[in-house]
Amino acid sequence: MPGPRPLRPGEPQRLGEYRLLARIGEGGQGVVYLAENAAGDRVAIKVLHPHVARDAEARERFLREADAAMRVAPFCTARVLDVAVDGDRPYVVSEYVEGVSLEELVRTQGPRVPGALDRIAVGTVTALAAIHKAGIAHRDFKPSNVLLGPDGPRVIDFGIARALDISTAPGMVIGTPAYMSPEQLSGRPVGTAADVFSWALTMAFAATGEPPFGEDNHTAVMYRIVNSRPRLDGVPQPLRTVLERCLAKEADERPTAAQVLDMLLGQGGAGASGPGPGTGGGRRPQGVGGASVAFPGDVPGGSASQISYWPKARPARPEDPPGPRSAHGWPFGPLAVSVTLSLAAAARAAFWFRPAGR
């Protein structure tokens, strides 16, 4: 991934009190800039594209949701520092994390090895627990939204997807299908359980180098997410058992992010069965990892859409007609679709017992 690049002609030099230094990247929602505040501290600023910010109701919702994101406890997240509007362009200012994304790291250097993988899993699910505690669902958790800085993984862009959940043309997907939950793909209500599903897909990618439902044809990927079992070959135990529970098709059968953290720390029953998220009294497996909290070795240099609703997921049956298969060997037919550990424990304690209003 290239580093910050010079500003393009016509791009703003300032936004409010912030001086723009360079362009970091651009996505479907907006452009991200490297900037500095009046004190000279570096920050990241995400500015919405004009076509996104044009709708007044969407703009107000964006500001409201982004303001709520400022209340998230700063455990393994890039803190939201400011929310403002420059003219008719809303923007969000967050902590600048100097590092590569999990997606870029895995694609250039391969899957993460045990130890590094465990630290990423614990750090990111701790971030999710903090985000959910603030009453926010991320809704767009994926490898590119996990940055690996010198002090560990940081989750970014939380709360932004909900703020931008505006009406789209039929068949348009807002998000990356390979990391979306069944409820996001079927137009059902989306809550924090969707983040747990997406987190599990992201951790499987970190462990194997590819998403559990593939990333070839969007229609085929969405069909597999709703109907097929995930491919978790290559994910080490006990993490694999945790991911299997998180990838339950029904949202109310998945554990919460806080319960997942307990499982990873060896304090919850990853092998428990029974109804309800995270309930049951199965044996307590050993927590993943056990490595120290040092992260620099993990990073080079140390430094809803609407689609047709699938009422019931089921595995493929022998009587199903044959059809073409993807490169991964998954079948799909002519389907119509409109479409770190002591640190983590200390953070968890501070997270649950911090004074009200903080």
Among all residues, which ones are annotated catalytic?
A: 140
Q: How far is CA 272 from CA 43, 228, 281, in A?
A: 43, 22, 6
The number of beta carbons lying within 10 Å of the beta carbon of residue 3 is 9
Taking CA atoms, 113 is separated from 152, 191, 203, 313, 348, in Å, by: 15, 31, 12, 32, 25
Ramachandran area for residue 344 (φ above 0: left; ψ -120 to 50: alpha; else beta): alpha
* Phi, psi of 291, rounded to the nearest 5 degrees: -80, 170
Of the candidates 157, 152, 95, the one whose C-alpha atom is nearest the C-alpha of residue 131 is: 157
Cβ count within 10 A of residue 9: 5
CB-based contacts of 248-255 (< 8 A; 24+ apart in sequence): 248/197, 249/182, 249/313, 251/181, 251/183, 251/191, 251/193, 251/194, 251/197, 252/193, 252/276, 252/277, 253/277, 254/193, 254/196, 254/197, 255/196
Place of tokens 């990892």: 289
Q: Are 106 and 210 in contact (CB under 8 A)?
A: no
CA 235 to chain centre: 18
Q: Which amino acid is at 193?
A: A
DSSP labels, 5-37: BPPPTT--SEETTEEEEEEEEE-SSEEEEEEE-
The closest alpha carbon to 282, from 308, 307, 263, belongs to 263
DSSP line for 299-333 = STT----------------TTSPP--B-TTS-B--
Q: Which amino acid is at 182?
A: P
